[in-house]
């Protein structure tokens, strides 16, 4: 499983840029990242994950959780989402496929 080697918030573009150890560069719009928060408050205690709309999310900070996850803190005070590296990469892959030319057809 790839791991992030650099996490760069870019507030003027409202995104978090992640460089992975396999040289993949992923850009996560704040709204997308906040909307797919994996915490129990946002997702409940089971079942399928769903997107939760947040109004103009601003990333305050991102901290590492051990050697397996990141924990973003948002301007609305929300900070319970722990995104495993695997889940974060899945979100990147999902975002890439959403923006692919094949998807638009």
> Side by side, which strands form the sheet with 69-74?
59-65, 69-74, 83-84
Residue owning tokens 């305050």:
60
The domain total for the chain is 1
Domain that holds residue 49: 4-104
Q: Is the pTM of this model over 0.95?
A: no
Strands laid side by side in the 25-29 sheet:
4-10, 15-20, 25-29
Q: What is the CATH number of the domain that holds 28?
A: 3.30.2020.30
- Mind listing the pLDDT tens digit of every residue in the chain (105 residues)? 899 999 999 999 999 999 999 999 999 999 999 999 999 999 998 888 999 999 999 999 999 999 999 999 999 999 999 999 999 999 998 877 665 444 333
* Token digits of residue 7: 């996490």
Q: Which residues contact 94 (CB under 8 A, 6 or more apart)?
A: none
């Amino acid at each position: 499983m790839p791991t992030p080697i650099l996490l760069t918030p870019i507030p003027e573009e409202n995104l978090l840029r992640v460089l992975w150890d396999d040289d993949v560069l992923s850009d996560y719009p704040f709204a997308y990242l906040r909307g797919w928060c994996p915490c129990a408050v946002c997702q409940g205690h089971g079942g399928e994950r769903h997107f939760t709309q947040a109004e103009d999310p601003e990333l305050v900070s991102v901290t590492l959780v051990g050697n397996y996850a990141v924990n973003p803190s948002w301007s609305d005070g929300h900070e319970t989402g722990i995104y495993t590296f695997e889940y974060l990469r899945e979100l990147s892959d999902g975002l890439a496929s959403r923006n692919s030319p094949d998807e638009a057809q």
